[in-house]
Chains A and B, each alone.
Chain A
Amino acid sequence: MQSRRIALAQLAPALGALEENLARHHELLTEARDHGADLVVFPELGLTGYQLQDLSGDVAIRLDDPRLAALAADTTGCSAIVSFVEESADHRLFIAGALLEDGEVRHVHRKLFLPTYGLFDERRFFAAGDLLRAVPSRLGVGLGLAICEDFWHLPVAELLALDGAQVLVNIAASPGRDLGATNEVGLGTATSWRTLMRAYAQLTTSFVIFVNRVGVEESITFWGGSEVIGPAGDTLLSAPFFDEGLFVCDINLEDIRRERLALPLLRDERPELQVRELERIITERAGIAQDASSEPGGAEGPEVAPELGPGRPAGFTGSAIGHRNTASAHVDAASAHRATATAHRTTASAHRDNASRHVDAASAHLDTASRAEAAGPDAP
């Protein structure tokens, strides 16, 4: 059996404390090796913590930093993935993950997608990476490394798999949020990630290893829940939420061959089709070429029909050629029609929301208009 032992270091790094985190990495590397681990995976920014803001430059290290070499020196006979702030020779800061093997830094992945929306502000402090490569590994199969948000962009897992990765590793610092009681696992973020991991494993017929940190920084609690998913989408390990720990799991590389023969999805991928269509889409989106699939009179951007009727979904009008011949008559009224269509959709979704609405009998008869305006503490 082609068995490999994977150790997931689901830790809570100390924010901005590089030396303390380095010491913890050395300890856990030793502990994992005592357990016979072939690969030890640490979470995103495990060496520095996540909410660094203006501390980012203070904890950044260069790839020739002796402290990184010292960590690598702990990997004789095994592999490890560690993550830190990398400063390039031209002084850009990257969120980086490094594959350390047999005493060397074998590969560095710079986070490609930096979320800068909602509770995230990464692009303010970091530069985005430009390279995505699957790399050979001591495991005996290709390894693809990605960092957190990288997996919220569809091409990443596919490119890694097409490039030869059979084990996909995502290291994350995912903040937990949305405690809605109907969530499958009590945490909306976790539900989304668990869905993604299983989809990637099945669609790329690869192992997926997800290592998410735990701990609290400022308002944010990172939820852990690290996982190992098999190439058929089967769950091999689910680490607990919120608990720090080293979690170990054996994977059988023969499962990859078995699954890929039974379900030859990767064999049937059509990268040349993607390249062809992407080249067209890129020029159209840039306005360099005329949009070949839009309706005359349609707005820029996504394909939207000039006229929408009941039962006719947006962006799809049946026979494109036939419609195009008649569409010009609607051009003048196109934007008005679109506004109506949007209103229809809004009403429809409001109805759905209404259906699940809790009826609160006690408040139904409240007459808000007849009551005096609240004095309220500190009325402005």
Chain B
Amino acid sequence: MTRALPAVPLGEDGQPLFVLPDELAIDTDVARRVIADFIRSQLRQAGFERVVLGLSGGIDSGLVAHLVADAIGPERLHCVLMPHRTSSPASRADAETVVAGLGCSSEIVEISPMVDGFFGFDARPGAAGPEGLEATPLRRGNFGARMRMSVLYDRSVTWGGLVVGTGNKTESLIGYTTLYGDSASAFNPIGDLYKSQVRQLAAAMGVPDGVITKAPSADLWPGQTDEEEAGFSYPELDRLLYWRIDRRRNVDELAAMGFEIAFIARVERLVAASEFKRQMPPVAKLGPRTAGVDYLYPRRRPGSART
């Protein structure tokens, strides 16, 4: 016996807020419950009571803010807004809407001086020397993401909370993340949800419509959007990844389902090329017992928790 698919909520214009492929629709009540238990357990097992989160104004971090507030209460959540000079002002406004809606603590840390301090600014070289002034947007974007990580781990100490991750399954699988930047966290509640599922859960959790409907962007440079940069839409990419990864369909089967060959090939390459981002770095096996190889312990055990 199966149940009917849930309806996608409508926006003020009467149109569906987002596209939700049938096979990706989840039971949001169950997801909410599992994630709340997960968040509480991660904190308890580590000996923490609070969470620190980097809030960009986008849907991923907005959803995680709601999930954390739902699990442990907004008073135990601290959101850090970390705009760069080139970040979209609308992103900051959206982040502030989320903070106001939740009633959690927040602060703004400008990262421009940190990025400029390295690459230089306005023809004045930074720590990188004159060459740094010519750095590509990609280098600056990755550097900025790692500066944000540094800020969050510092606030982890001052706020006394664990850093929660906000990366989704789609971007993780295609490697659309900065290693040790936005991908760094103590735990991640939405890392097994595709972008379409993030939208579905965000709508169910009451994330503001404007945050749900705007074009997803890493906001690493002005005007950047994920879908334009990558060249495909999230619903279509999510479907392909779902059938390829979760349902183990091979390339021929995917083609028979109607996915374009070039699209399949390109995503195959992205997934394979980013495998390293999803794993701990390999340690050269030299001694009798090596972490991650033949020294295997759960992350938390008696004695693990901060006291």
Q: A residues engaging B (CB < 8 A)?
A: 14-17, 51-55, 176, 179-184, 186-187, 215-218, 221, 241-242, 346-347, 349-351, 353-354, 356-358, 360, 362-363, 366, 368-369, 371-372, 374-380
Residues on B with C-beta less than 8 A from A354 are: 256-258
For B298, give its contact among A218, A349, A378 (CB under 8 Å): A218
Please give 14 more A-B residue pairs, beta carbons under 8 A apart, in addition to A346-B252, A360-B19, A372-B231.
Answer: A15-B298, A16-B302, A54-B297, A181-B5, A182-B5, A183-B3, A218-B300, A242-B34, A358-B235, A358-B239, A368-B232, A374-B231, A377-B141, A377-B176
Contact partner of A366 (CB less than 8 A), chosen from B4, B137, B232, B277, is B232
Which candidate, B25-33, B50-58, B119-127, B149-157, is the interface stretch facing chain A? Answer: B25-33
> Considering the complex of A and B, which 10 residue pairs feature the smallest CB-CB distances, nearest first?
A371-B231, A186-B27, A216-B41, A363-B233, A350-B256, A181-B25, A358-B21, A179-B26, A363-B236, A186-B30
The verdict on A54 contacting B295 (CB below 8 Å), with A378-B175, A378-B277 known, is: yes
Within 8 A of A (CB), among B1-21: 1-6, 19-21
Q: Is the interface of A mostly helix, strand, loop or mixed?
A: loop
Q: In the assembled complex, which residues on chain B have CB atoms less than 8 Å from the CB atom of A377?
A: 138, 141-142, 145, 176-178, 181, 218, 220
**Number of A-B contacts defined by CB within 8 Å:** 163
B90 interface residue, CB < 8 Å from A? no
Cβ of B306 within 8 Å of any chain A Cβ, yes or no, is no
**Is there a chain A Cβ closer than 8 Å to B106's Cβ?**
no
- Establish whether residues B176 and A376, one from each chain, have CB atoms under 8 Å apart when the complex forms: yes
> Contact: B38 with A54, CB < 8 Å?
no
Report B-chain residues with C-beta under 8 Å of the C-beta of A54: 295-297
19 contacts between A and B (CB under 8 A): A15-B298, A52-B298, A181-B26, A216-B41, A218-B298, A346-B252, A353-B243, A357-B22, A357-B23, A358-B23, A358-B239, A360-B235, A363-B19, A363-B233, A366-B231, A371-B231, A375-B137, A376-B138, A380-B276
Contact A357–B232 (Cβ < 8 Å): no
* Contact A181 B262, CB 8 Å, known A377-B176, A379-B138: no
Chain B neighbourhood of A180, CB < 8 A: 23, 25-27
Please encode chain B, from 161 to 185, with 1 for each CB lying within 8 Å of some chain A CB and 0 for all others: 0000000000000011111010000
* Cβ contacts under 8 Å, B25 to chain A: 180-182
Q: How far is the CA of A179 from the CA of B38 in the complex (A)?
A: 15
Contact B138 A176 (CB under 8 A): no
Q: Is B37 an interface position by the 8 A CB rule?
A: yes
Are A375 and B138 in touch, CB under 8 angstroms? Answer: yes
- Which one of B25, B137, B233, B301 has the greatest number of beta carbons of chain A within 10 Å? B301
**Which residues of the other chain, B, contact A374 by a CB distance below 8 angstroms?**
176, 229-231
Q: Verify B298–A53 contact, CB threshold 8 A.
A: yes
Q: Which residues of A contact B33 (CB under 8 A)?
A: 241-242
> Is A369 a contact partner of B258 (Cβ separation < 8 A)?
no
Instruction: List chain A residues, Cβ under 8 A from B236.
Output: 360, 363, 366
Query: Among residues 215 to 252 in chain B, which have CB atoms less than 8 Å away from a CB atom of chain A?
Result: 218, 220, 229-233, 235-236, 239, 243, 249, 252
Which A residues are CB-close (under 8 A) to B38? 216, 221
Contact: A346 with B34, CB < 8 Å?
no
Q: Please, which residue of chain A has its CB at the minimum distance from the CB of B177?
A: A377
Within 8 A of A (CB), among B291-307: 295-302
Write the nearest CB–CB distance from A217 to chain B, whole angstroms. 7
Q: Which residues of B contact A181 (CB under 8 A)?
A: 3, 5-6, 25-27
With a cutoff of 8 Å between Cβ atoms, the chain A residues found around residue B273 in the complex are: 380
User: Within the assembled complex, what's the spacing in Å between the Cα atoms of A350 and B256?
Assistant: 6
